[in-house]
Amino acid sequence: MLEFYTYNLATKSPLYKQRTGVILSYKFHERTLLAESSPLPGYNQESLQDVLVQLKKILPYLLKIQSLEDFNNWDQSYELYPSLQFALYSLYYQISNPINHPFSIPIRRFIHIPYQDDASSAKLLDKLTSLPLCNCVKIKLGSYPLEKAISLIKSALSITKVPLILDFNERWSLEKMQRFCDNFAPTSFEHLEDPLDNPLDLFALAKTHPHPIALEQGLRLYGIEPFLSLPTLKTCEFKPTIDMPLLRNASFLKTLSDFNMKITFSSAYETAVGLSTIGYLANQIAPLSYHGLDTLSIFESNFLFNPIEITSTHLVIKSYNYTGTA
């Protein structure tokens, strides 16, 4: 039996005061499997209302589906919203690939303290210093002035040996990024993520600064083809809630593999249910990468059964036999 429930949760985020979504609950033999569809405002070209309308429309078809193969065969001709496609794929993946023991996915830690004044840098460095042992740390720098960012990252590199990812959210110009890179060796960071306001300027940046690059937002706008000849592109990052159609495209994934691209996943501020199902996908596609799934603390409280445990280095998906209701 397939059921669904909506949620509306308060968050600590200045961008998303509340997070809404729908939890799918599927009773399969002795287990109740859960998945989540939660469009992210400003990113998904869909709303929660869109998802609910589509879900009600296709429910008679879904009741006949018993496996991931059934789902794949059915939805090839049906244009599902990305977040709903992610939720349904996750649900049927769990049916067809039962996991009866815990497994873990490597994660990175995440620090986002938007720049307001000099105290912002100090707070960020304090946060970095207080982090427990971890695989990697992602720092958002898009809001920082050039000189403040240079000073901040020099200090960060002096106090930690943990690899750093610097995320600029496509907010810096080519000239500003060139001046930033002048101050650091290419090996200083794991990579620079979405560094330029015009991703096509990455080719000009690569001519003078061979710093490794990761793309997320630029891939949604341009696709992968324009960047396959970019020598500095090393990593492609995806939010499954938004990018699920690409992640089910075998030809696309083969292209990334052929060009030795690393794949990483990050959350779109899902609940523990959504994070667990991203973990299933990560285990299937990129089990050794450091994924951005350290986001559960955004919620004021956890609202239902929690199928995960987050340590300083891993997201652990626990073996469970959930018998309650969502």
**126/82 same-domain check:** no
Q: What are the structure tokens assigned to 184, written together?
A: 């650091």
The total of other beta-carbon atoms located within 10 Å of residue 187's CB is: 9
Mean pLDDT for the chain overall:
92
Same domain for 72 and 109, yes or no, is: no
Query: What is the total count of domains within the chain?
Result: 2
Q: Domain range for residue 77?
A: 2-96
The last residue of a domain, from among 40, 73, 96: 96
What's the average model confidence in pLDDT over 85-92?
A: 95
Could you tell me if 161 and 188 lie in one domain?
A: yes
Q: In what order do the strands lie in the sheet containing 213-215? A: 109-111, 137-140, 164-167, 191-193, 213-215, 233-238, 262-265
132 and 64 in one domain?
no
Considering the domain architecture, whether residues 302 and 186 belong to the same structural domain is answered as yes
Q: Give the integer Cα–Cα distance in Å for 199 and 174.
A: 9
Q: Are residues 162 and 116 in the same domain?
A: yes
Whether residue 234 is found in the same domain as residue 165: yes
Share of the chain above pLDDT 70, in %: 96
User: Residue 214: which region, alpha, beta or left (left: phi > 0; alpha: psi -120 to 50)?
Assistant: beta
pLDDT in tens, 146-168: 999 999 999 999 999 999 999 99
Q: Is the pLDDT of residue 198 over 60?
A: yes
Gap between the Cα atoms of 260 and 191, Å rounded: 15
Cβ 188 vs Cβ 166: under 8 Å:
no
Which of 96, 123, 149 corresponds to the end of one domain? Answer: 96
Quote the pLDDT of residue 303: 61
Residue 141 lies in a domain: yes
Which amino acid is present at 172? W
pLDDT at 184 > cutoff 50? yes
* Beta carbons within 8 Å of 135's beta carbon, 6+ residues apart: 106, 107, 108, 162, 163, 290, 313
**232 and 138 in a common domain:** yes
Is residue 324 domain-resident? no
Q: Is the pLDDT of residue 36 over 80?
A: yes
Burial profile 85-116: b = 16 or more Cβ within 10 angstroms, e = fewer? bbbbbbbbbbbeeeeeeeebbbbbbbbbbebe
> Token pair 């050794």 is at which residue?
288
Write down the pTM of the prediction.
0.93
pLDDT at residue 201 greater than cutoff 90: yes
C-alpha 224/C-alpha 10 separation (Å) is 36
How confident is the model over 254-269, as pLDDT tens digits? 999 999 999 999 999 9
Q: Does 179 have pLDDT greater than 70? A: yes
> Residue 164 belongs to what H/E stretch?
strand 164-167
Residues 147 and 245 in one domain: yes
Rounded CA-CA distance 105/163 in Å is 17
* Same domain, residue pair 75 and 223: no
323 pLDDT more than 70: no
Q: DSSP letters along 279-319, please?
A: HHHHHHH-TTS-BB---GGGBSS--S---EEE-SSEEEE--
Residue 275 counted as domain residue = yes
Confidence of residue 326 (pLDDT cuts 50, 70, 90): very low
Task: Single out the residue in 71, 96, 121 at which a domain terminates.
Answer: 96
More confident call, 208 vs 301: 208
The answer on 186 and 66 residing in a single domain is no
The reply to whether 141 and 248 lie within a common domain is yes
Is 25 a domain residue? Answer: yes
